[in-house]
Amino acid sequence: MPDAPAPPTASTSLLRSFSRQLSKGQKRGLLAGIASTIGGFGGQVYDFFIADPLTDKNVRWNATISAHALTAGLAFIAAFIVFFLLRRFLFRAAAIVSLVLLAGGAISYFTGINIDLSKAQQTWDSAAGWLWQQGKSLISLVSSNIPGSGGAGLGAWLGFRRPRV
């Protein structure tokens, strides 16, 4: 009689739990990001250790492509994981903030207690200026690094997207 299979370890059960929450498109995208990262890393290792640097002085096309593949794959995986976790957090945070604002509005309406928001308005004005400046610097950063930005953008979109089951 065959032995019973070993119970899953914590790491395999965590991976299985994570993979059950993903849609087919998310699984395929994550697999493509992993393949791009592995392929780019392999190309970089080949170019660093095996390729003869004395044969040509110019940068070879496969070294450039593998560097871009590695950058795009790593950016995709990182953005996918961050935005997958951020999606879960943001929905809960938005619900809590909505309840707090609703409670503040109800207290102000029913009890007549005035909630002074002038300090919040001043803070918002200074934060809006800072955000505008950071947004302009982010645009210049994204445009200077297109492969990583494209991979990160696609990973963020797939990670933040709710899986359709």
* CA–CA dist 25, 161 (Å, integer): 10
User: Does residue 148 lie within any of the structural domains?
Assistant: yes
In a domain, 108, yes or no: yes
The answer to the question of residue 15 being in a domain is no
Judge whether 85 lies within some domain: yes
- Position 11 in a domain: no
Say yes or no to pLDDT of 56 above 60: no
Q: Which residues span the domain enclosing 141?
A: 23-160
How far is Cα 85 from Cα 87, in angstroms, rounded to an integer? 5
State the Cα–Cα distance between residues 156 and 165, nearest whole angstrom: 19
pLDDT in tens, 80-99: 888 888 887 888 899 999 99
Cβ atoms of residues 77 and 37 within 8 Å: yes
Q: Number of structural domains, the chain?
A: 1
CA quadruple 139, 150, 154, 66: dihedral sign: negative
- 129 falls within a domain: yes
Q: What is the pLDDT at residue 1?
A: 56
pLDDT at 67: 81
pLDDT at position 55: 58
Report the distance separating Cα 157 and Cα 143, nearest Å. Answer: 18
Q: Residue 58: inside a domain, yes or no? A: yes
> Is 4 inside a domain boundary?
no
Q: Tell whether pTM > 0.75.
A: no
Q: What is the pLDDT of residues 91-135, one digit of tens each?
A: 889 999 999 989 988 888 888 777 777 888 888 888 888 899 998
